[in-house]
Amino acid sequence: MSHFAIVLAAGASTRMGTCKTSLPWGEGKTLLTYQLEQWLSVGFTPVVVLGSHNSEKQKVCPEGSLTVINPHANTGKTTSLLTGLQRIPPNFEILAISAVDQPRKIEIYQRLLLAHQDNSAMITAPTYQSKMGHPLLFSNGMRSHLQNIREESLGLRQIIKEFYPVIHQVKFDNPAVLLDINTPEIYQEQLHNWGWY
């Protein structure tokens, strides 16, 4: 496998009030398992970064996914990204970065993957009405840059800023690419939108 997806799931879910990885999402699934199955179905190996507080979620991750624990998750998202990178083989072709609270339908992943490959892009990002969303796709040439990110220099945002002119932007006519499920209100609203009730 040469396609990998880091799924950041080590956050404390403070605003949600409960661990996001356990939130029901779809029939018999959780937000975590739904995401991992979506990535697996488009040929990516998901690498889930969990924190010490939810490390038991390793048991529910579907076959084909990898897990890693970030004991320093409370110091910022950048440490989780760097922890996930350590599990990615040096010769990867494409690396996607997403978060457990950013569920996407498979069509979004397929379209981004195709655009990334067709354009031999360094970075590919979905956009909606000129706003950049997630997930982001990176080529192998970006690995050294990703390994050098630091929390104090804005982490991933620094890379986006630095490489903005070369990011291949894929325009979507659906705000789904901007979705972050951060609060109980957004969660309830999205359950309705996705027809999970």
Q: Residue 163: what residue type? A: F
For 85-105, letters b (16+ CB in 10 Å) and e give beebeeebebbbbbbbbbbbe
Tell me, what's the pLDDT at 126?
Answer: 98
Tens of pLDDT, residue by residue over 168-192, are 999 999 999 999 999 999 999 999 9
Of the candidates 169, 87, 90, 157, the one whose C-alpha atom is nearest the C-alpha of residue 123 is 169
Question: Among all chains, which residue has been given the structure tokens 């027809």?
Answer: 195
More confident residue, 197 or 39: 39
Tens of pLDDT, residue by residue over 121-156, are 999 999 999 999 999 999 999 999 999 888 777 788
Q: For 138, phi and psi rounded to 5 degrees?
A: -125, 145
CB < 8 Å & 24+ apart, contacts of 26-30: 26/194, 26/196, 30/60
